[in-house]
Amino acid sequence: MRTPEQTRPEEKTRPPQSEAVETKSGTSSKPGGGGPTSSLPYKLARYLTMPIILAGVCIALYLWVSSQTLDSIEARNLNAELIVEKLVRHLEITVIATIAVVALAVSAGVILTRPAMRRVSPYIVAVASTGQAMPSIGVIVLIAVLLNQFGFTIAIVALVITAFLPVLRNTMVGIQQVDQSVIEAGRGMGMTKRAVLWKIELPLAIPIMLAGIRTALIIVVGTAALATFINAGGMGDFINTGIKLSRETILITGSVLTAVLALSVDYVAGIAEDVLRPKGL
């Protein structure tokens, strides 16, 4: 895994500057409180603020909807059973797409950082970038039209393409930013390439990888609202119905709940990031 060129003294302390820039753009969703501040009141405040705000929004929405007189169409849409059903569907799409993205993009990131792949990796990253550069709605509809298929699976495929890049790029950057001297020490003590990958490179890449996964998750949970256009269900159905039938109550409820869902998912991902970060870093 280490070519001789890499171990030349001139190169061994090279700082990954260009990559650091990428890291920042790749982890733009990192919360301001991600630092090592660890006093208990501060932690509690950080962890409790978001749920309280989100619960407040939900209660306000409920009170507002309750105060409206609903016609038959609105009443049919705005009931707990249907909302839960769409919510579950939306989460299903989100979770499955995210798992697929992580599985594919992390593997790709590991493979592309192997020295043998060093030459081709920029091209593959460029291809992955187009997935993110294209408007999500375009990707979703285009794929459905191209394959002439609609529904759940196509939605997943489209979301994977859309959210692939942040995970891929952060995996690569995460692995590349691992201190070369740490890897050299590992190899020098007789760790195999595989052991270096699993015991050194990946654990040390985890914080940056997690940031990328969190970004992907947010992209997926937001973009999943567009799945409604290819008949894949989810919270987008409410928004779509609201617009088509000019029912503002449905539109607003759908939009607000989608936003609350996205923020909740981000919140949970933020906690996961804190918990999964290796100690000692």
Minimum CB distance to other proteins smaller for 51 or for 188: 188
Instruction: Point out which span in 98-106, 188-196, 220-228, 246-254 binds other proteins (CB under 8 A).
Output: 188-196
Of the candidates 103, 129, 109, 130, which has an alpha carbon nearest to the alpha carbon of residue 121?
109
The only residue of 49, 79, 149, 181 in contact with other proteins, by rule CB under 8 A: 181
Q: Residue 174 interacts with other proteins (CB under 8 A)? A: no
Number of residues that bind other proteins (CB under 8 A): 31
Regarding 116 and contact with other proteins (CB under 8 A), the answer is: no
Report, in Å, the least distance between residue 62 CB and other proteins.
45
Distance between CA atoms of residues 140 and 154, nearest Å: 8
* Choice from 29, 61, 65, 187 touching other proteins (CB under 8 A): 187
Out of 126, 148, 190, 246, name the contact with other proteins by CB under 8 A: 190
189 binds other proteins (CB under 8 A): yes
Q: Which of 84, 99, 185, 268 lies at the binding interface for other proteins (CB under 8 A)?
A: 185
For residues 219 and 98, give the distance between their C-alpha atoms in angstroms, rounded to a whole number.
9
32 binds other proteins (CB under 8 A): no
Instruction: Point out which span in 3-11, 56-64, 115-123, 254-262 binds other proteins (CB under 8 A).
Output: 3-11
Whole-angstrom Cα distance, residue 102 to residue 164?
8
| Interacting residue with other proteins among 108, 160, 200, 250 (CB under 8 A) | 200
Q: How far is CA 261 from CA 79, 190, 257, in A?
A: 17, 48, 6
- Distance, in Å, from the CA atom of 270 to the CA atom of 274, rounded to the nearest integer, reads 7
The secondary structure element, H or E, covering residue 18 is helix 17-26
First to last CA, the chain: 24
- Under rule CB under 8 A, residue 7 binds other proteins: yes
Give min distance, CB of 9 to other proteins, in A.
Answer: 5
> Is the CB of residue 281 less than 8 Å from the CB of residue 207?
yes
CA 247 to mean position of chain CA atoms: 31
DSSP 134: S
Q: Residue numbers of the site for other proteins (CB under 8 A)?
A: 2-5, 7-9, 12-13, 179, 181-192, 195, 199-200, 203-204, 278-281
